[in-house]
Every structure is written in C-alpha cells, then in structure tokens.
Amino acid sequence: EAQVTQNPRYLITVTGKKLTVTCSQNMNHEYMSWYRQDPGLGLRQIYYSMNVEVTDKGDVPEGYKVSRKEKRNFPLILESPSPNQTSLYFCASSLMGGRGDNEQFFGPGTRLTVL
C-alpha cells in the first residue's frame, strides 16, 4: 500500500530535550516536505526537499532541522524544543512539487506537546 508514515504519532516532551520525528514514504517520491498545522493558521511549510541531499527552508524553519540522506526518509529534528513548537506536524511527499498529477500525499500527523 502506497503511504507516508510518521513516528511517533503522539509525543509529549519537555523544553530543551532533543527529539526526532521520522517520516518515510514507499512511493519513490522525489519531493518531501514538513508542515505544521496550528489553529487559525492552516498548514505552514517548515522545510522541503527536492531530492536526496537537497533541502530548503519553507515559511517557518526556525527551530527545526531536516536531513535527506535517503530518498524514502525525511526526518524532522528539534534540537531544543520550546513550547511554541507545540503543534500538529505533517510530512508529505509527491513525485515533484505539488502540481497537477503530483499532488502531495500526507502522513497521518504527529501531535507534539512541549511542556
């Protein structure tokens, strides 16, 4: 089954404790991205990657890091989480960008709470 998986689905942590949210897709997609969803703000892009070893900042990259060492995986790293990073996070992938037939497929989401 074609899918985007994220782990963990739920996480409660404390300020300053480094964490990683994993994202994996099995569709051989080149493009992957991370979004956060906050009430009244919709989905905002954090980082995206056009291909292996190619990453770029989205709208809200501060406080986050990513890496793309393999095509299928695109982990999101919070080196020193803060309460304002409490949010619902989505990973997405597509063949290329999000146009035409290349619409993005989203993972199920990771709800992160930083105390």
Partner 1 sequence: DQQVKQNSPSLSVQEGRISILNCDYTNSMFDYFLWYKKYPAEGPTFLISISSIKDKNEDGRFTVFLNKSAKHLSLHIVPSQPGDSAVYFCAAIEGDNDMRFGAGTRLTVKP
Instruction: Provide the binding-site residues for partner 1, judged by CB under 8 A.
Output: 4, 31, 33, 35, 40-45, 48, 50, 59, 90, 92, 96-100, 103-109
> Between residues 85 and 104, which has the closer beta carbon with respect to partner 1?
104
Task: Measure Cα distances from 19 to 34, 67, 102, 103 in Å.
Answer: 15, 14, 30, 29
> Between residues 47 and 64, which has the closer beta carbon with respect to partner 1?
47
Query: Considering only CA atoms, which of 103, 113, 41, 107 is closest in space to residue 83?
Result: 113
**Identity at 5, one-letter amino acid code:** T
Question: Cβ of residue 11: shortest distance to partner 1, in angstroms?
Answer: 15
> Between residues 40 and 69, which has the closer beta carbon with respect to partner 1?
40
Question: Cβ of residue 55: shortest distance to partner 1, in angstroms?
Answer: 12
Tell me the C-alpha distance between 107 and 115, whole Å.
24
> Between residues 14 and 96, which has the closer beta carbon with respect to partner 1?
96
Question: Cβ of residue 95: shortest distance to partner 1, in angstroms?
Answer: 11
- Strand, helix or coil for residue 103: coil
Question: Cβ of residue 102: shortest distance to partner 1, in angstroms?
Answer: 9
**Identity at 32, one-letter amino acid code:** M
DSSP 55: E
